[in-house]
Amino acid sequence: MGSGFLRRLASLVRKEVRQMLRDRSNMAVGISLPIIMIVLFGFGISFDLERAPIAVVNESGGACAQALVERVQGSKYFRSSRAGSFAEASGRMRRGEVIGILRIPGDFDRRAAAGSAAVQLVLNGSDAQTSKTLEGYVTGAAALAACAGGAARGTVTVVPRMWFNEAMTSTWFIIPGLITIILTIIGAFLASLLIAREWERGTFEALFVSPVRPVEIVLAKACPYLVIGIIDIALVLLSARYVFHVPIRGSVPVLFAVSLEFLIVSVLMGLLISAVTRSQFLASQLALLTSFMPAVIFSGFIFDLRNMPLWIQPICNALPATHFMRVAKTLFLVGNEWQIVAQGAAILLAYGVAFVWLAVRRLPKRLA
Amino acid sequence: MIWLTEFRTFLFQIYHLVRKEFLALLKDPKSRAILIVPVIAQSLLFGYAATYDLTYSPYVLFDASRSIESRELVRRIDATGIFSRAATLSSQNEIAPMIISGKTAVAISIPPDFARRLAGGENAPVQLILDGRNSMTAALSAAYIGSIAARYSAERFGAAQAIQIERRAWYNENLNSRWTILVGLIAALAMIQTLLTSAFSVAREREQGTFDQLLVTPLRPLQILIGKAVAPVVVGLVQSSVIFCVIRFWFGLPLAGSALLIFAVLVVFNLAAVGLGLSISAYALTMQQAMLYAFLAIVPMMLLSGLFSPVSNMAEVLQWVTYANPMRFGMDAVRRIYLEGAGLEQIWFDFVPLAVMAGVMMPLAAWLFRNRMS
């Protein structure tokens, strides 16, 4: 290789950078899409129920029922409104104005005195997750209501301690996951069109008759996207710390290095898609199918992998994103757990090598 | 009778454009495959993977009490069929490595004085250590184990809980979160490809230089618009039908409402999406730009649709932004019809914005056809 390699590479990179700068749409998407995603994921995707609209039907006029109603009204988790009758509350739920109905029956106080009070909670099952959370909060509020019947006698209490996420907010695990999603998208979306575009326009043959080698073409094409990706990594890290106040407990340089490694793998995957399809339409479809949705659903980003059917787990583990997700979440929230980091980095390296090999093999064969 | 002949010519010309569009889209077997195979695979895989429900959760146990009471509590946890013991530890120190490595999301630690405190009428705390890297699973596990402990305490004394909650869930009795997500996919997955297909249609012709030819044909902009819109709308509807069948027949979700109404909503929804796609396509100067702008639209639309987390959990400002998102309305309407059995009178407020968006985006696309020349 030697200096000829570097010289050719430099001029190729210059060509790619110029090409990218001339068409602003690339930069626009490469920088603005991540910013949009940081805002949307950070402020938009939340699994923490707050101010859930519920209707309270108090058919009992007693003091104990009143205490329960006040407890619910005082909770930050609900935005409760009174309904005169259950029929009225049902109507509101059908129209989607409330997502739950708390009905305190007429005999509530009488039964509370006897130690066996019951309330009815009607939930809208079409949003199952929210309903479950709501049920948990109502149960909690009921347990705390002042008039709880029966003396407390030796009960088993559960004291949960959430490690790594003391704030108990989903933002703390969404933001570390976001870095994975953004890098997957940047790599796949932007890079997948590159070679396909040149094939379609017939400019690829022109490159091949020049003295450059396939590996140089691949490297040069990847370079501008790596720069965009690095800017994106920095954006996520800065916003994590200064906007969302998510702790970074592990080493920032290590986090940055592994992110860079994952970025390279993503860009290579995009290039590979591009080299295989040779059509912009197919490349874009394939990029979308293999990047955004799988990275959201199979990588352990919001859906817990330990919770999925066993036969799906090999699919999850086949995604590079899954391995980077584990490292990113650990470095953000847990700390320098070298075994997890080293394992993830090694797997990503293997993917990187495999993708380069496949992409390079694909190029010259097709020309002949 | 002249108008009738003219109208027939009008339709005839559109027919040829539509035919050409379908040919361009489906001629290549690879394109044909990519429009159908991934949708089936995705709806099946996502159906199994995308659930927030605890179905299987490994835990580790450190029981320092080793009493009849602690064993009974553990027996009840094991009996749920959800929690399965991955390891029984012999010291508190062994918990940390199990949690950090991610082998388990839950560790249960029962202190040595557990039985003594219970016998003495005191509260006996059991410690749960949870992996906050996924706070949702953690919170669900904590709530579940908490309710097991509460029931155990109550049964020990033959007394009921302080206040009993009788739960009734409408539309989805077992609160299966898969239902919520799967039905959302009917609108979401189809829209992705509808938008991409339409975003490419004009940009492709521009890049290949055939769009100018199309403009000098006797076709009027309205005809070009209709001709260009039919193929992507059909693609979207076919995909939605495929997903619908997977959900209805493979996963067996009961359909509460009218399938016809769902399709009526999907037609309007797809028209809005295609209007957006064609506008992007007409605005973009190259295919690459068209695709990038389409992505720039798809990702926020997905995130602001309520597919993964409810709109009501979003920050106030973002909730307002969702009103500009056709997917929010499409998904809400499909969910309400499918799961809640809503009729037109319950979903008109989803229907109207979609119709308005289609009515704005389509003419915008037509205007851009003419006025955006490179």
Residues of chain B with pLDDT under 70: 1, 157-165, 373-374
Please report the pLDDT score of residue A327 as a whole number. Answer: 93
CA distance B274 to chain A (A): 16
A41, A158, A293 member nearest B146 (Cβ): A158
Partner-chain residue, chosen from A51, A164, A315, that has the shortest CB–CB distance to B45 = A315
In which band, very low, low, confident or very high, does the pLDDT at A350 lie, cut at 50, 70 and 90? very high
Question: Chain B contacts of A326, Cβ < 8 Å?
Answer: 102
Residue A228 vs residue B164, higher pLDDT: A228
pLDDT at A253: 94
Position A136, amino acid: G
Rounded mean pLDDT of chain A? Answer: 82
Instruction: Report yes or no: A115 at the B interface, CB cutoff 8 Å.
Output: yes
The pLDDT tens digits for A90-146 are: 888 877 788 889 998 888 888 777 767 788 888 888 778 788 888 877 877 776 665
Q: Are A319 and B60 in contact (CB under 8 A)?
A: no
Predicted pLDDT at A300: 85
Task: Determine whether the interchain pair A25/B292 forms a contact, defined as Cβ–Cβ distance below 8 Å.
Answer: yes
pLDDT of residue A368: 39
Q: What is the pLDDT of residue B112?
A: 92
Are A288 and B192 within 8 A, CB to CB? Answer: yes
Candidate from A27-31, A329-333, B287-291, B301-305 with smallest mean pLDDT: A27-31
Cβ distance of B46 and A170 shorter than 8 Å: no
Could you say which DSSP state residue B94 is in? G
Name the strand (E) or helix (H) holding B174: none
Residue of A nearest to B319 (CA): A44
* DSSP sequence for A76-121: TTEEEEE-SSHHHHHHHHHTTS-SEEEEE-TTHHHHHHHT-EEEEE
Model pLDDT, residue B353: 92
CA-wise closest residue to A181 among A114, A263, A102 = A263
pLDDT (average), residues A338-355: 93
Question: How many other CB atoms are there within 10 angstroms of residue B234's CB atom?
Answer: 17
Cβ neighbours of A171 (radius 10 Å)? 22
pLDDT of A40 over the 80 cut: yes
In terms of DSSP bridges, do strands A52-58 and B83-88 run parallel, antiparallel, or are they unpaired? Answer: unpaired
Amino acid identity of residue A125, one-letter, is G
Class of domain A52-144: alpha beta
Per-residue tokens: B205: 């012709």
| Nearest residue in chain B measured CA to CA from A169 | B135
Chain B residues within 8 A of A120 when measuring between CB atoms: 165-166, 168
A46/B contact by beta carbon, under 8 A: yes
CB A192 within 8 A of CB A278: no
pLDDT at position A196: 78
Nearest-CA neighbor of B347 among B326, B327, B332? B332
Q: Which residues of B2-15 are buried (b: 16+ CB within 10 A; e: fewer)?
A: eeeeeeeebeebbe
Kindly identify which residue of chain B lies nearest to residue A39, measuring between CA atoms.
Answer: B318
Kindly give the residue spans of alpha helices, DSSP state H, lying in chain B: 2-26, 29-49, 68-78, 95-100, 114-119, 135-157, 177-208, 211-216, 221-245, 259-283, 287-303, 316-321, 326-335, 344-371
Range(s) of chain B covered by CATH 3.40.1710.10? 57-157
User: Under an 8 A CB cutoff, do A47 and B136 touch?
Assistant: yes
- In Å, how far is B170's CA from the nearest CA of chain A? 5
Are the beta carbons of B145 and A158 separated by less than 8 Å?
yes
What pLDDT was estimated at residue A147? 56
A:121-140 residues touching chain B, CB 8 A cutoff: 121-133, 135-136, 138-139
Question: Using the beta-carbon criterion (under 8 Å), do A307 and B54 form an inter-chain contact?
Answer: yes
User: What 3-state DSSP class applies to B209?
Assistant: coil
Closest CB from A33, A197, A284 relative to B296: A33
Q: For an interface test with A, give the residue of B114, B152, B163, B302 to mutate (most A CBs within 10 A).
A: B163
User: A24-28, A182-186, B147-151: which has the minimum mean pLDDT?
Assistant: A24-28
The predicted pLDDT at position A365 comes to 45
β-partners of residue B164 are A118
**Distance, CA of A294 to CA of A292 (rounded, Å):** 6
For A220-235, what is the mean pLDDT?
87
Closest CA to B15 of B210, B264, B231: B231
Test mutation, A137, A158, A195, A277, chain B, max B CBs within 10 A? A158
Residues in chain A: 368
By C-alpha distance, the chain A residue nearest B142 is: A160
Reply yes or no on whether the pLDDT at A178 is more than 80: yes
Task: Please give the distance of CA B31 from its chain centroid, rounded to a whole number.
Answer: 24
Tell me if ipTM is over 0.90. no
The minimal CB distance from B170 to the residues A40, A115, A123 is found for A123
Are the Cβ atoms of A156 and B126 closer than 8 angstroms? yes
Q: Which residue of A has its CA nearest to B289?
A: A25
Nearest CA in chain B to A38: B300
Query: Per-domain residue ranges for chain A?
Result: 10-45+168-367, 52-144
Which residues touch A326 (CB under 8 Å, ≥6 apart)? A300, A340, A344, B102
> Is B57-157 a CATH 3.50.50.60 domain?
no
Q: What pLDDT score does B189 carry? A: 86
Cβ proximity of B356 and B267 under 8 Å: no
Q: Assess A202–B contact: CB distance below 8 Å, yes or no.
A: no
Q: Looking at residue A124, what is its pLDDT?
A: 83
Query: Chain A closest CA to B261's CA: distance in Å?
Result: 17
